Chains A and B, each alone.
Chain A
Amino acid sequence: MDMKTPEKKLGIKERYRYLTRDLAWEPSYRSHDEIYPYLAYEGIKIHDWDKWEDPFRLTMDAYWKYQGEKERKFYAIIDAHAQNNGHLNITDGRYLSALKIFLQAISPGEYAAHKGFSRAGREFAGAGTQVACQMQALDEIRHAQTQIHALSNYNKYYNGFHAFSDHRDRIWYTSVARSFFDDAMAAGPFEFMIAIGFSFEYVLTNLLFVPFMSGAAYNGDMATVTFGFSAQSDEARHMTLGLECIKFMLEQDPDNLPIVQKWIDKWFWRGFRVLGLVSTMMDYMLPKRVMSWREAWEIYGVENGGALFKDLAFYGIRPPKGWEDAGKAIDHMSHQFMLGFYQWRFGTAFHSWIPSDDDMNWLSQKYPTTFDKYYRPRWDYIRKAEAEGKPFKNFGLAKLCQCCQLPCVFTEPDDPSQLCHRQTTYKGEIYHFCSDGCQDVFENEPEKYVQAWLPMPQLFQDPVNGDLAAWMDWAFLTDGKDNGEYPGSGDQLNFDRWRGLATSNT
């Protein structure tokens, strides 16, 4: 009689080989170039796709299992949040501004990344690469969905959450993130991997999802912590994929080095400009703060980014061109952004405010070389004007950078008393930039950026035609409700009243 012996369980490496590499085949009746038409035009040379190693060796079956577990945990907490007055358990209603910016600027980016990885998974040739891109495409749509779902609970109670996708497409401060993703999606597959895998995942998400989410926990926002950490658990895999892709390109052919370097320069700077939003959320919009933007940058920018570039030096990669300018901007950017938000507060789908004495003391402690010297006097001036009944508002339209699309509110790297402005002429037209980094990006690919849609010129086009009220209708922004100052806003009145109801019986 035959004895059935249980088959030995496959090891992680064999499982990966059977369930990933073995799924691929050599085409017989169409050529490789016909099937993968976008692999060559960026100039990247790949000789052996099998050299691609997925370090996590995650197979699809294991992927579904662990992602399913993450979703169950996520929805258990979202239910608890909705059932337990989660919208009242945050430290203060001002915190909601950070969530609104997140939903308007970042969550649609997750969806864009989903579309991009679906495409990259099709366009890359290696089976390992295809499977990794497929997983990331699924991750990214999960992130978009869980973020929208988690924040929809706040939309039942507060203003400014109702039209995030239109705000993403039509309002000025979100277009820094929108143009980042549009630029990435309009790039070839290899550049897309640097844009998302390196810049968005390695540079951005650690700063966004780790200290900011830890800050969300500190501010009693269970829903956001949960989607944040749940998303970031996938990012660890994405960062590893991004890093692997860079190493793979560099190992495949020495001719790839200058191309990869140029992309690293470009995408570091583009990512850094998006981080301006994050810096402001961290320094100004968390009522209880875990760490300053500067402290977070030290850990995840200087230390972790520095370690990465030290490692990539092995291949001849140097730190990104804008690295030094970025270092000089760290102590200024959140203040410059918040002053911009405050003075153009009629045009934001979130609330801003003048920082309190406590907040300003915290800022001067965290930014000893810059806050008291450059920014406290401006807030003091704004506060005085407000007390005199002449609140400071700027109804002028900002000059936008043709590359990052932000208003040119940044200062010269070596002189914080001078606004930084660069311009270039291309085919008879003048284009403006906020920095050398953005000008460089434009000058490398002018034909791409002259086509950019910019929010300010839109104001003078149909259907807005220069009318502010028409612009607000078009941008799904209700004046006096979604925009303006936090003190006296519907959000403040409701938060205070409902919190009172939740903690007393009258």
Chain B
Amino acid sequence: MSSVFIALQANEETRPIIEAIEADNPQARVSREPAMVKIDAPGRLVIRKQTIEENLGRDFDLQELHVNLITLSGHVDEDDDMLTLHWDR
């Protein structure tokens, strides 16, 4: 199964988001590179609104991700509560 990934800018806004992604995707590998953080996962990666909100301590609209998003791979499925990257159909 191919990997999917998401890369986010390394900053104060993304720290709690990255922690949430790590918590929701135990199989994910987090690489901290200059100015960016790349998270790879085999086949599937989920980003959950609820986990981010718990970490952040405020409401979070998943589309706020666009502000600090650098790149991603895989098919994107998005609804109000969850953004999923995956290669399977």
**Chains A and B bind each other:** yes
> B69 near A: Cβ within 8 Å?
yes
Which residues of A are at the interface with B, using a C-beta cutoff of 8 A?
11-13, 55-58, 62, 66, 69-70, 73, 205-206, 209-210, 213-215, 217-218, 225, 229, 232-233, 235-237, 239-240, 243, 290, 303-304, 306-308, 310-311, 314
Q: In the complex, A153→B76 CA distance in Å?
A: 37
Given A11-B80, A290-B33, A314-B89, answer yes or no on A237-B73 (Cβ-Cβ < 8 Å): no
Q: How far is B63's CA from A222's CA once the two chains are assembled, in angstroms?
A: 26
- Are the C-beta atoms of B78 and A66 separated by less than 8 Å? no
Q: Which residues of A contact B4 (CB under 8 A)?
A: 307
Most buried by B among A57, A73, A229, A235: A229
Is the CB–CB distance between B76 and A229 below 8 Å? Answer: no
Apart from A214-B33, A239-B73: 17 A-B pairs, beta carbons within 8 A: A12-B63, A55-B77, A57-B78, A66-B63, A210-B70, A214-B34, A214-B36, A217-B35, A225-B35, A233-B66, A290-B34, A303-B3, A304-B73, A306-B2, A307-B4, A310-B87, A311-B87
**Residues B69 and A12 in contact, CB atoms below 8 Å apart:** no
Q: Mask for B64-85, Cβ within 8 A of A = 1, else 0? A: 1011111111111111100000
**Given known contacts A55-B76, A217-B35, A311-B2, is B64 in contact with A236 (CB within 8 Å)?**
no
CB of B7 within 8 Å of the partner chain: yes
Contacts known (A56-B78, A233-B66, A314-B89); A210 close to B71, Cβ less than 8 A: yes
Q: A393: shortest Cβ distance to chain B, in Å? A: 36
Residues of B within 8 A of A206 (CB): 71
| Residue of chain A at shortest CB distance from B89 | A314
User: Are the CB atoms of A233 and B67 closer together than 8 Å?
Assistant: yes
Q: Which residues of B contact A306 (CB under 8 A)?
A: 2
CA distance A237 to B4 in the complex (A): 15
What 1/0 flags go to B11-37 for Cβ under 8 Å of A?
000000000000000000000011110
Judge if B9 is at the interface, Cβ distance under 8 Å. yes
Quote the shortest CB–CB distance from B88 to chain A (angstroms).
9
22 contacts between A and B (CB under 8 A): A12-B63, A55-B76, A55-B78, A56-B63, A56-B66, A210-B7, A210-B70, A210-B71, A214-B34, A217-B35, A225-B35, A229-B9, A233-B9, A233-B66, A236-B66, A236-B71, A243-B75, A290-B34, A303-B2, A307-B74, A307-B87, A311-B87
Q: What bracket does the count of chain B residues touching chain A fall in?
A: 20 to 34
Which residue of chain A has its CB nearest to the CB of B31? Answer: A299
Asked, given contacts A214-B35, A290-B34, whether A73 binds B67 with beta carbons under 8 Å apart, the answer is yes
Q: Assess the A229–B70 pair: CB atoms within 8 A.
A: yes
Cα–Cα, bound, A206→B5 (Å) = 12
Chain B residue contacts of A214, Cβ below 8 A: 33-36
Enumerate chain A residues within 8 angstroms of B70, measured Cβ to Cβ: 209-210, 229, 232-233, 236
CA distance A58 to B70 in the complex (A): 17
Q: Across the interface, do A239 and B71 meet the contact criterion of CB distance under 8 Å?
A: yes
Beta-carbon contact of B76 and A209 below 8 Å: no
Min CB distance A133 to B, Å, is: 18
The residue in chain B whose Cβ has the minimal distance to the Cβ of A55 is B76
Whether B35 lies near A58 (C-beta < 8 A) is: no
